[in-house]
Amino acid sequence: MFFGRLNEMQLLENYYDSPKGELVVMYGRRRIGKSSLIKVFTEKKTHSYSFEAVESQNTQEQISHFINQLAEQTGDSFLKKIPFTTWSDALNYLTDKVITQRKRKKKLVLVFDELQWMATKKSTLVSLLKFYWDNFWKEESVMLILCGSIASFMIDKVLHSKALYGRITAEIHLQGLPVIEAQNFFGDKRSKEEILKYLMIFGTVPKYLEMIDLRKSFEQNMDKLCFSKHAIMIHEVDRIFYSQFVKEKNYLAIVDSLKSRIRTLGEIGSAVGIPSGGGLKRYLENLTKADIISQNTPWDKPFESRIKKYRISDEFLNFFYKFIEPNRKLIANSPKKQLFKAITSEKMDVWLGFAFERFALKHSSYLAELMGFSDQVATAGSLFSRDDTHFQIDLIYKRFDKVITICEIKHHNKKITAQVIKEVERKKSLIKIPRGYTLETALISLYGPDKGLKESGFFTHTITLDNILND
């Protein structure tokens, strides 16, 4: 199943249509749909060759696997009998027999997928690819796509490598789908309320959405995917960390320290027993690159500010730590088939409230577009101080047109009454408005203001579920 990725697909097509060689680097966490995007992009291309590495194999096994794939795609079974012992041997054959000998010089797409495994997490293969790119492939109208699921490797060893400096023509960091593209997966088969719950629990990760059975209710799907003995999502967190990081225990400990509150670098270091120096910073950088956590600075401070707070940004991790991890034993041993409601009933409404706030912060650019000022946003962030354990205000926009927009985010199952005004006035008092700026307020909720609140004119902008998930 494939849906969405309209912008990324158009970008790839543009590079394919260019008259020169193109070197594209694509990376993103597992399950995000990199291989599916590449497969759909290449399936109708006349000349394309894709090679996917196998996890945790040595260099010789990677070369053999590469040659086997080449033999299958060229129809040359004799290839499997040739003893290729180095990457140079394999790339020489690819260059001589496939790339330079083709009669028509129409663009040839060459894909190296899961590059970190192909390179056994070393930079040697990257340097070798640079040699072939410079001396053979670039002038042969090749579109080379280097793709990987370990962001730290793709950024440090590929994007920032000296070997490929100045040669990369496109960088695609594949993240979750835009909200509207994710909504299209559901069509008109589920209610907007149900769709929003899925997006707050699973995010907009394509593979997770594909697991949802649109013939079943929200509760039925949650029981099947997360709260039954053989539920596929029970071990998803283990798989994420095992495949993504070498020292997964340290990374798991860091994320575990963030499951109930935001923390500074020093607080994380104290919680996990790792000094808050280069080592811990490196762990946090890798978690951020993998889209597992995010680094937040106060809305009115530059990104380089020393006042930083880290939080879990992955939607499923937040859900997992709240409801699945504490109940793993119960889920594994219970004969009941409807555990989701039993386990979550008392805490789910409160959790959804916080999840909606996280959703709004993560999709702040989209919400700004709905409110009509996306082209004016200078920064979008939260209000917090060094000692805070939670954000005092979740979403504040500072705009180039000298407007500050404070957002009140409410996940209530009914319209919002005028009682909210007092709460918002208190939050407004926390903001120091720069000279010459206007202060606006926005209400982001499921069903908007009631008649009294609407007639008061208190909120400049109102966003509802119908706005977020368009018909």
Which residue reads 């199943």 in tokens? 1
Going by the DSSP 8-state scheme, the letter that residue 449 receives in this structure is: B
pLDDT in tens, 154-166: 999 999 999 999 9
- pLDDT of res. 244: 78
How many independent structural domains does the chain possess?
3
| Domain assignment of residue 114, yes or no | yes
Q: Are residues 341 and 364 in the same domain?
A: no
Count the alpha carbons within 13 Å of 360 in the hemisphere toward its beta carbon.
Answer: 29
Q: Which of 312, 346, 380 is the last residue of a domain?
A: 346
Q: What is the mean pLDDT of the chain?
A: 93
- pLDDT of res. 363: 97
- pLDDT of res. 103: 63
Q: Are residues 159 and 17 in the same domain?
A: yes
- Cβ of 126: how many Cβ atoms within 10 Å? 20
Q: Are residues 234 and 271 in the same domain?
A: yes
| Residue among 201, 257, 204 at smallest CA distance from 233 | 201
CA-CA-CA-CA torsion sign (429, 432, 438, 441): negative
Q: Are residues 342 and 426 in the same domain?
A: no
How far apart CA 107 and CA 214 sit, in angstroms, is 40
How far apart CA 339 and CA 261 sit, in angstroms, is 26
Q: Which of 121, 153, 173 is the last residue of a domain?
A: 173
CATH number of the domain within which 312 lies:
1.10.10.10
| Domain assignment of residue 450, yes or no | yes
- pLDDT of res. 68: 94
Burial class, 41, CB count within 10 angstroms (exposed 0-12 / middle 13-18 / buried 19+)? buried
| Domain assignment of residue 309, yes or no | yes
Q: Are residues 289 and 431 in the same domain?
A: no
| Domain assignment of residue 254, yes or no | yes
Q: Which of 312, 328, 346 is the last residue of a domain?
A: 346
How far apart CA 431 and CA 426 sit, in angstroms, is 9
- pLDDT of res. 336: 80
The phi-psi region of residue 143 (left if phi > 0; otherwise alpha if psi is between -120 and 50; otherwise beta) is: beta
| Domain assignment of residue 283, yes or no | yes
Q: Are residues 246 and 383 in the same domain?
A: no
Q: Tokens representing 21?
A: 């060689």
| Domain assignment of residue 185, yes or no | no
Q: Are residues 400 and 362 in the same domain?
A: yes
Domain with 339, as residue range(s), is 216-346
CATH number of the domain within which 407 lies:
3.40.1350
Q: Check pLDDT > 90 for residue 326.
A: yes
Q: Are residues 342 and 251 in the same domain?
A: yes
Q: Check pLDDT > 80 for residue 191.
A: yes
pLDDT in tens, 350-385: 999 999 999 999 999 999 999 999 999 999 999 998
Q: Are residues 310 and 394 in the same domain?
A: no
Q: Are residues 64 and 159 in the same domain?
A: yes
Q: Tokens representing 76?
A: 């040359």
| Domain assignment of residue 408, yes or no | yes
pLDDT in tens, 80-110: 888 899 999 999 999 998 888 776 678 899 9
Q: How confident is the model at residue 471 (pLDDT cuts 50, 70, 90)?
A: low
Which amino acid is residue 71, in one-letter code? A
Q: Check pLDDT > 70 for residue 76.
A: yes
pLDDT in tens, 433-464: 999 999 999 999 999 999 999 999 999 999 99
How far apart CA 223 and CA 242 sit, in angstroms, is 25
How far apart CA 108 and CA 66 sit, in angstroms, is 18
pLDDT in tens, 142-154: 999 999 999 999 9
Tell how far CA 241 is from the center of its chain.
15
- pLDDT of res. 77: 82
